[in-house]
Amino acid sequence: MQSEASCVLKLQQYICINTRDASLCMTGWITGLLSHKIISLLMRRFLSTLALASMLTGSAALAQAPTPPPPDVAPAKATKLIRRHKVVVLDVRTPAEFATGHVVGARNVDFKAADFAQQVSQLDSTQTYLLYCASGNRSSKAATLMRQQGLRKVVNGGSLPNLKQAGAKTE
């Protein structure tokens, strides 16, 4: 074994294992066959380095996990909440979409608007909000953003077509 790194194979090219940081350095293409012990050594070094890297990366990802999205409710449950006036209904579609029809009593807060976050910051945090849009995608994203801004009582009601099918009145 040489001082800093040991040469494993010399067949016109080299594969070296740096014993200081367990990284592999390869130059050129390998010609010939490596013995079972050499392959075993290389695999152990590679896997231990890979495991260490994934542990470090994984713990950093866990520390920065985003706020989980609020739970969706079934359209029938959402419709029941609307009928009983237990929620403030927010339509997060564009004003043009809102004008084509919306749940009776819904307030339009356009998720795509530049001032959406500002509009959310003016909402009463003691109220429960039920959001919907055309497909349920924007309402899910809007609900997540609202939770990140401190509103905890936010429910994603899904899509307007599903709410209509469940009996929600529209105008």
Are the C-beta atoms of 146 and 105 separated by less than 8 Å? no
Whether 133 is a known active-site residue: answer: yes
In the sheet with 24-27, reading across from the earlier edge strand, the strands are 5-10, 14-18, 24-27
Scanning the structure block, which residue is given the tokens 């500002």?
Answer: 118
Alpha-carbon distance of 47 to 109, in angstroms, equals 51
Query: Looking at this protein, which amino acid is placed at residue 159?
Result: S
Strands (E), the chain: 5-10, 14-18, 24-27, 88-91, 107-108, 129-133, 154-159
Q: Pick the catalytic residue from 7, 16, 25, 133.
A: 133
Alpha-carbon distance of 93 to 134, in angstroms, equals 7
Residues that are catalytic: 133
